[in-house]
Structure 1
Amino acid sequence: MPTLTKLYSMEEASQHNTTDDCWVVIDGKVYDVSSYLDEHPGGDDVFLRTTGKDATDEFEDAGHSKSARELMEKFCIGELDELPPAIPELEIVSKKQGLPQKVLNFTKQYWVIPVGVVGVSAILGFLYLKKK
């Protein structure tokens, strides 16, 4: 019978960020390293700096041994759920309905200002050129 793998979000993993409750994400897997913090040769601050983000690069840069990689498997509690968040549905307006009433009101109210600025500028420009 296959083992079911628990999926965690990065947000959920980032909430476990204390010395008593510390999770890290490496290569798409989530590890609860709370019980290992005191034993880690690099200290607990190494783990605490990497909570809330993917720590794969930091793990690889440290050059961990094969035995360290085997040891970390006992701390694996699941995998990172890498599915993007759901996109909210958009309201579709058909061409027959036209623009919503709020948009129509907005466009009717604010066309006067740009037209007024252009009109005043044209009149002032005409008067300026007439004086020369």
Structure 2
Amino acid sequence: MTATRSAERSPAAPRAGLRRQVTRFAAIGVVSTAVHLGLFAVFETLGMGAQPANAVSLVIATLGNTAANRWWTFGVLGRRRLATHHGQALLVFAITWLASTAALAILHARDPGASTTTQTLVVLVANAVSTAVRFVAMRSWIFRAR
């Protein structure tokens, strides 16, 4: 089987290297968070509203995050199980989305006129809280060695 038709493991990211996985996951997470927060701020500033801006920007960032972690962090190559991996990641996405949605709802209840900067910081904190859950889900469920 070729790498394009199977879900082979890449030698670039061996399954056993927890430290390497955490480091790579963190690097991808920083980039994904920057994309999420940047898009959120742009969409919110353009009048989309905080909750829709959060949902749209988080979906975009999650798709990129999953693809990058699949290849670089967990060393999965090829198209085999690609749709399944993205589907599972979207289920995990729900955790992040619920955390950030709840955080924004609490902020808006306390400060209905919160600035885009304040809203963006609240989304950042909510993302930080859900990051550990995402890593464990990716390592133990989505990209576990079969």
Q: Is the TM-score greater than 0.5?
A: no
More helix by share: 2
Relative contact order higher in (CA < 8 Å, ≥ 6 apart)? 2
Instruction: Considering fraction of residues, name the structure with more strand.
Output: 1
Bigger Rg, structure 1 or 2: 1
**TM-score of the aligned structures, taking structure 2 as reference length:** 0.21
